[in-house]
Amino acid sequence: MAGEKMRCPWAENDAKMSIYHDEVWGKPEHDDQKLFAKLCLDLMQAGLMWRTILYKQEGFQKAFDDFHIETVANYDEAKVDELMQDAGIVRNLLKIRAIINNAGRVLEIQKEFGSFSAYLWGFTEGKTIKSNLQMTSEIPVSSVLSDTISKDLKKRGFKFVGTTIIYAYLQAVGIVNDHLTECFCYDKYEGDK
């Protein structure tokens, strides 16, 4: 129908992707636990399709104790071995160790900034960057913002936080709104804080 808003095409043909698109992707997130969980999932996506991670999300949540930051930061070698045996997740030792490392770095940021959210959203002064894109092919894989945040995270000791991973993360947590202008979610979260 003329004038009717539609969904971004990448989420059209898969029910789980559609729900993720409609309810999560681009929604401004300010809860540290959820921000950490999303960072872990985007880190796990490196070299894989997002759909693979989305379909294993429940397995990741269970295996990583709902991504409770302090719990993950204190994982020992026995827990690493347990995770490497868990078929419900992506069993990549470097990524598993990166998640554990990054939990510790998030705790440090919380001490310095009061919250992980304050740190992340501070890069945009608390505002969502709207991209105003017409076609999926226009969606970038990185930006000056993702470059800046990636460099700062690496300087703080984070692992698996390259600019492409961070750009996907910024999209997921609503710091960057890359919903197409024709998408019904484009203006869905206006004014959310």
Q: Is residue 192 part of a domain?
A: no
> What is the pLDDT at residue 188?
86
Q: Is residue 99 part of a domain?
A: yes
What does the alpha-carbon distance between residue 149 and residue 154 come to, in Å, rounded to a whole number?
A: 9
Per the domain annotation, does 62 fall within a domain? yes
Q: What is the pLDDT of residue 5?
A: 67
Residue-range definition of the domain harbouring residue 39: 9-177
- 34-67 burial, b at 16+ Cβ within 10 Å, e below that, comes to bbbbbbbbbbbbbeeebeebbebbeebbebbeeb
Q: Taking 80 as the threshold, does the pLDDT of residue 4 lie above it? A: no
Q: Which pLDDT value is given to residue 1?
A: 41
Residue 165: the pLDDT is 97
* 60-84 confidence digits (pLDDT tens): 999 999 999 999 999 999 999 999 9
Q: What is the CATH number of the domain that holds 74?
A: 1.10.340.30
Query: Helices (H), strands (E): how many in the chain?
Result: 10, 2
- Res 193: pLDDT: 45
Beta carbons within 8 Å of 43's beta carbon, 6+ residues apart: 95, 98, 99, 102, 159, 160, 161, 165
C-alpha 46/C-alpha 110 separation (Å) is: 25
pTM of the predicted model over 0.85: yes
Residue 183 lies in a domain: no
DSSP 8-state secondary structure symbol assigned to residue 49:
-
Residue 98 lies in a domain: yes
- Beta-sheet pairing, 176-177 with 129-130: parallel
Question: How many domains are there within the chain?
Answer: 1
Q: What is the mean pLDDT of residues 35-53?
A: 95
Q: Does the structure show a pLDDT above 60 at 124?
A: yes
Identify the band that residue 3 occupies on the pLDDT scale cut at 50, 70 and 90: low
In-domain check, residue 17:
yes
Residue 189 lies in a domain: no
Proportion of the chain above pLDDT 70, given as a percent: 95
- DSSP letter, residue 137: G
Residue 192 has pLDDT above 80, yes or no: no
**159-179 per-position pLDDT tens digit:** 999 999 999 999 999 999 999
pLDDT at 20: 96
